Amino acid sequence: MINAYVLTVMRTGNSDKAIKEMRKIENVEKISVVAGEYDIIIRVHVKSLDKLLKVTNELQMIDGVKKTTTQVIEKEIAL
Amino acid sequence: MKIRRKYLFYALAFTSAIISAAVAALDATISSLYITDPWAFGVSCFIVGIFISLLILLIFSIPVKKGKSLGSKIIDPSFKRIRLVRKEEIKYHVLAGFGNAVLTIGYFFLLSMLGNDPSAVIPFAQIVILYLIIMESITEKNMPTLIEIQSSLIVTFGAILVSISLTGTITLQSMVIVFLVINPAWVLFSIYQRKLKMLKIDGRPNDALNIRFWNVAFACMFTIVIVGSYDLATGNNHFAAGITASIEHFWWVALSMSIIFFSYVFYIRALGIGKASITQAVRASTVLFAIPFSLVISYFNIIPPFTTDPVMILIKTIGTILVILGIVSFALNLLKAYVFINVKPGYPIEETMDKLWKIHGVTRVAAVAGPYDFIVKIRTRTLVKGYERIIRKIEEIDAIEEYKWQSVLKEWEKI
């Protein structure tokens, strides 16, 4: 299984509608609206890199999404 | 379905609290009318509980559509089907099961000592919040903040005040049971169930349904050992009385154990989201839900009637307000953030990862491929603490070249 963070920059004015669309995507595990360089951080859980490409593509197709940067998790420690 | 994590947490903890209050009233009725021996009641709970929990688990293992089970659809999405305990779970189940066995026997003792009034007994168990805060500061590298200590004290004192009103008396023996038996046992039960919930089984989060079933099984084993040893030492016959009670009053105990099964499944799921002390603080709302149930069983003369003394009513009202205030204060004070980190070349990744993980308040460290080298998730009660305890420590790590702090404003999570 592959976990990744998709760091998203949004165009102003469309965030609420875009978040509603993001919540419908199956492999999206968590959506965090943040303050800083990025606007939304999305955690994705997929079976393969192909599937990851499909999810990032779906995210980029959402109206309001300006730019995405994908960070694939290589190793993780969590509580 | 994706909902805000906070709402899910409160929904689970409050549902667990309401069910728990209803079961406490049912237990009080059984203890008052049918099984008056607390040792025997403890034994019968777990013996009947194993059969009932197994039956519920089998029903929830029935596959529905897309290979998903009934339990995964309606109770816990992490659940697949009934399974055996994994090697890595055994030590946690042993400790949580022992905790459950001791606290259950202690609880029934207290219930029989305090006139079978659940609204008087349940609040005492909430003192466990203080124990949990101390334990968490040791085991989860998460020192309590002033707000956490304040809120816990408010909930605890409120819970104690609510408990005084009905009988108006507190004995030394009951205090010993509360402070030295029930609450330390609850700490074991709660901390190790949380550890179980945080484990990954076959790459998926551990499920609350299997955790509950195996907890009942381990608790049953310990109850038999504890009650059996006590009988041997004192020449009593509580164990045999427990077996007899299990047969004679099977349906009453089965009803209680089947309802409490769901209360604990929701409690375990909440434990997987929030810290044990905070889950317990929200679940302390059970003291409020216990009052109407106590009034109902008091109306049917199962327990003595409620006092009409205005001072006692005032004390109970103050206690109730304190519990609500404490819970609200917990709920409104939690900050989360992501920190994106780039490291200098020439420093081993594993070593830097360990250093980041050791910082208080860090809940997740991910080594990533992309523009950044690490993404760190942080949980803190205040921004000041975030700076003093987290940012300063990050800056002390030589390998770190630069970092970016991103405060979380709102969050949704898949359930």
One digit per residue, pLDDT tens: chain B, 415 residues?
556 666 777 888 888 888 888 888 888 888 888 888 888 888 898 899 999 999 999 998 988 877 788 888 888 888 888 889 888 899 999 999 999 999 888 887 777 776 666 666 666 666 677 677 666 666 555 566 777 778 778 877 877 777 664 555 556 777 777 778 888 898 888 888 888 887 878 777 788 889 999 999 999 999 999 988 988 988 888 889 989 999 999 999 999 999 988 888 888 888 777 666 677 777 777 777 877 887 787 787 777 776 677 887 788 788 878 877 876 676 666 788 999 999 999 899 889 998 998 887 788 899 999 899 999 998 887 777 777 778 888 999 999 999 999 999 888 876 5
Q: What is the pLDDT of residues A1-23, one digit of tens each?
A: 899 999 999 998 878 889 989 98
Q: B108 burial class (0-12, 13-18, 19+ CB within 10 angstroms)?
A: buried
In a domain, A63, yes or no: yes
Asked if the structure places residue A7 within a domain, the reply is yes
Distances from the Cα of A39 to the Cαs of A64, A68, A69, B410, in angstroms?
A: 11, 10, 12, 11
CB-CB neighbors (< 8 A) of B194 in chain A: none
Tracing tokens 């049912």 back to the chain, one arrives at B26
User: Which residues on neighbouring strands pair with residue B3, listed in sequence order?
Assistant: B413
Q: Is the pLDDT of residue A33 over 70?
A: yes
What one-letter code names the amino acid at B212? R
Q: What pLDDT, on a 0 to 100 scale, did the predictor assign at position B11?
A: 82
Q: What is the pLDDT of residue B165?
A: 47
Q: Among B292, B267, B279, B284, which Cα is nearest to B324's?
A: B284
Domain annotation covers residue A23: yes
Distance from CA of B404 to the nearest CA of A (A): 8
Is residue B65 within 8 angstroms of chain A, CB to CB?
A: no
Put simply, the answer to whether A33 touches B413 (Cβ < 8 Å) is no
Q: What does the DSSP assignment read for A24-57?
A: H-TTEEEEEEEESS-SEEEEEEESSHHHHHHHHH
**What is the CA A32 to chain-centroid distance, rounded?**
9
Q: What is the pLDDT of residues B396-408, one digit of tens each?
A: 999 999 999 999 9
Cα distance from B222 to chain A (closest Cα, Å)?
A: 29
Closest CA to B408 of B364, B377, B382: B377
Domain that holds residue A59: 2-72
**B353 Cβ under 8 Å from any chain A Cβ:** yes
User: Is residue A77 situated within a structural domain?
Assistant: no
Is B218 at the interface with chain A, CB within 8 A?
no
- Number of structural domains, chain A? 1
**Residue A4 with chain B: CB contacts under 8 Å:** 368
Helix (H) / strand (E) element for B288: namely helix B286-299
Backbone φ, ψ for residue B308 (5° rounding): -110, 5
For residue A79, is it within any domain? no
CB-based contact B2 A28, cutoff 8 Å = yes
Query: What's chain A's Rg over C-alpha atoms?
Result: 12
Q: What CATH number should be reported for the domain holding residue A24?
A: 3.30.70.920
**Distance, CA of B314 to CA of B331 (rounded, Å):** 26
Å from A61 to nearest chain B CA?
A: 20
CATH 3.40.920.10, domain B335-414, yes or no:
no
Contacts of B337 in chain A (CB under 8 A): 34
ipTM: 0.93
Residue B177's region, left for phi above 0, alpha for psi from -120 to 50, else beta, is alpha
Q: Where are the domains of chain B?
A: 2-331, 335-414
Yes or no: say if B330 and B151 are a contact pair by the CB < 8 Å rule.
yes
Interchain contact B409–A (C-beta under 8 A): yes
User: Nearest CB to B338: which of A19, A34, A70?
Assistant: A34
Which of A2, A6, A32 should be substituted to probe chain B, the one whose Cβ sees the most B Cβ atoms within 10 Å?
A: A32
**Is A35 domain-assigned?**
yes
Q: What is the pLDDT of residues B228-256, one digit of tens each?
A: 898 898 888 888 998 999 999 999 999 99
**How is residue B301 written in tokens?**
């003369």
DSSP state of B154: H
The residue of chain A with its CA nearest to that of B194 is: A79
Residue A59 lies in a domain: yes
The structure tokens listed for B219 are 């608790």
Q: Do A34 and B409 touch (CB under 8 A)?
A: yes
